[in-house]
Structure 1
Amino acid sequence: MKITKTNFFPIFLPHKHAFVILPEMREALLPCFKSIPTAEASYNYALDFLAESYSKPNNYDTYRNDLIVFFCWAYANGKDVVDITRTDMLAFIKFCNEPPRELQAKSARPVLIINKADEDDLRINPEWRPFKNANPDKPYTRMESTVQKQLSVLSSLFVYLNDVEHTTINPAALALRRFNPKSMDGVALTEQKEKALSQLQLSAMFDTLDELCIESENKLKAERARFLMYLLILAFPRRSEISATLRYSPLMSDFERVRVGDVVRYVFHIRKGKGSKSRKVLCSGLLIEALKRYRLFLGQSELPLPTDDSPLLVRLRAAPHGREAKVVDACISDKQLAEVVKWVFEETALRLDLMEEFEEAAHLRTLSAHSCRHTGISLALSAGRKPELLLHDTGHSTMASLMIYNSSRIEYRLGEVDKIDTVLMDYKL
């Protein structure tokens, strides 16, 4: 088995099987290691680089995908990654912008075929391809943001290789610094897509949730979804901050009681946010009411005590395998969380279709859980919260990064226009 420019091989396996080395992988890698002196060392360092992201499965698999393509391309050209120059990196990007048809698939195919009777019986899926082209009749294209992300991942790899003194160059950083998508074929310029829900979508979503809680046969699924959406909109956490990982699982006691003078308030303590930083988010009255309703439905007290170690978002059924196999009383994973949001958005889109708001429904179907964070922050800014104070709740380190989440929707900007009228009327009086 040989890695060529039209025959790539998944030399890094998905997160779940990260530490597995299949005979097929050895067969593909050994010729490269024998013909390229430093290739084996670079490959092992790349495994170490990926291992540092193991606690974040989504990051791990994102990095892995880019590393597969990069290493295979280098091997196909008879080079190790540490031999790549800035000129080579530009050639690699051009290759990825216009990949051979043999490396494209109409839809994403799993890397591995797993024997259902024996989960340890694995083999590489011969249908796997590194590039996806949903419309094979049209030329393959990538968004400029995809190219930037790829260069950013590779730059991080080279930073790691520099740290371990395996190389002193970073061709990906050089290419990223002078990145110009306008001069590239096969790259579509990224359009600014509205990521926040409109007020119509938001209103329809909350109406849909209340309806589902009444009509759904699975009351737990509906009540959990209702609380989750209130939490996402009103505390704007990232998906990974309220779902379970190998090292972190949110608890009910993360809602903490604080006294401010004579007033008792609640904060939501995100114990492990982005960059392993913690923060405490001020909770609105609506969020606390949603929490009370959810807890009462679960048969718990209205509000948690500091000793409450029950999961924040309970599972509907036990996990089939893993650290918490056969356990129901545990927090859901980020993938399960995304599925809940997708279900809510689809049910809301159906409601919007019945209202003949077809454009709103179509747009909602393109959004993800992260759109709730955009929506919540836009609502907070629209309501008049001071950006410099809001930073503490959002987990952003700079005003510039916060303002990326500020929606340009008309309804989120109307209040500012009305304030001008109020000021002017005061002058006239």
Structure 2
Amino acid sequence: MAWRFKASKYKNAAPIVPKPEVCIRDICVGSYQTYGNNIAASAAFIAFNWEHAGSSLAVLPIDDCGRKSKTMPLLHAHSDTVTYLDFSPFHDGLLATGSQDCLVKVWHIPEKGLESSISNPECSFSTKQRRVETVGFHPTADCLLWSTAMGCVSLWDLTSQQESFSNNEHPEVIQSLSWKGDGKLCATSCKDKMVRILDPRAESPISLVAESHQSIKDSRVVWLGDQNRVLTTGFDAARLRQVIIRDLRNFAVTEKTLELDCSTGILMPLFDPDTNMLFLAGKGDTTISYLEVTDKDPYLIEGIRHSGEQTKGACLVPKRALRVMEGEVNRIMQLTSNSVIPIMYQVPRKTYRDFHSDLYPETNGFKTELTATQWLNGVNMAVPKISLDPAKRELGEQPIIPRLGPKPFSSTGSSAEFSFDKV
């Protein structure tokens, strides 16, 4: 069939590991028994667990490097281990954290980063004596936060600072949650070995349920962009690591099951919907796999694998922060026991003098008109796309940097002292 011979633009994307002096070094990272990735990035900052307790976070500029002092300013986030952290897609300085202390907190990172330690959040929510497992921001609605604690999924409206949705139908601990790109549905993986599809605005939120990986060890789920497909990672009954793809139109039957190896490391799936590039970073592994996701058999095509330091955590950098004039199509921030390593995935070209538009489809921008209240009332609205072409950017050759505007917890038109810094 002709499609089998269609060459992928990203087939030869190769990991470029920087020199040690370009990495963040001499940091202190412990081993945390959490469902989180232990690191998160916006277009302006990276944040990661600090010290063995993990209750504090280091927050640094996205392009920071060099040795770090043990006495540098920290975000003293919680009284117990931070289990999950996530930046807002619309405010580069807005960070959400969840913890074993049963609290969800939202933080504002100043424009210049942390010049002194911070311990006072913008707002805080209690999960009723249940350890917070995951937390994050809605992909299309501004100031709408989600979290999971044990078998409960919650939505929080940051403007009203109220819980707007709660569902307790999962019989075991929710291990992972991921939203569809259009923000209408979300998927969960659970310790009961099931994967579920939820519509929080429906009368009966759980719409689809299917048996997933047959081990109770950690499973992760990631929605494949705007597609009607979800991907999960986990372990089979023999404790082999697996990747499974499911189509919502035939949810009970797996579209693709890929058996990997017998390593014990929990796989963290990192997916870029613009390029369909999937990265599998295993906790404790020294390799990071790259696969391309397709909509036809074989569904998963293996790319060039990265080998290096042992992974403690990993995340993708937003597309707005990529070095597009160097052919960088993705960047993984790899957290190790003593460093953060930016791994650049570059598509080889004869020259990078010009912008290669074929490598960079328009991507979600940093502005949305959809509010949390509107979404909760049934309104859907796509996030406007932006070009990554430097010639088409608002600031010319400068990186795309969002202006954060009014603080989301204050009414529109509030005084300047209650506004976010422009990051």
| Alignment TM-score, normalising by the size of structure 1 | 0.23
Higher-RCO chain (CA-CA 8 Å, sequence separation at least 6):
2
**TM-score w.r.t. structure 2 length?**
0.23
**Between Structure 1 and Structure 2, whose CA radius of gyration is higher?**
1
Q: Which has the higher strand share?
A: 2
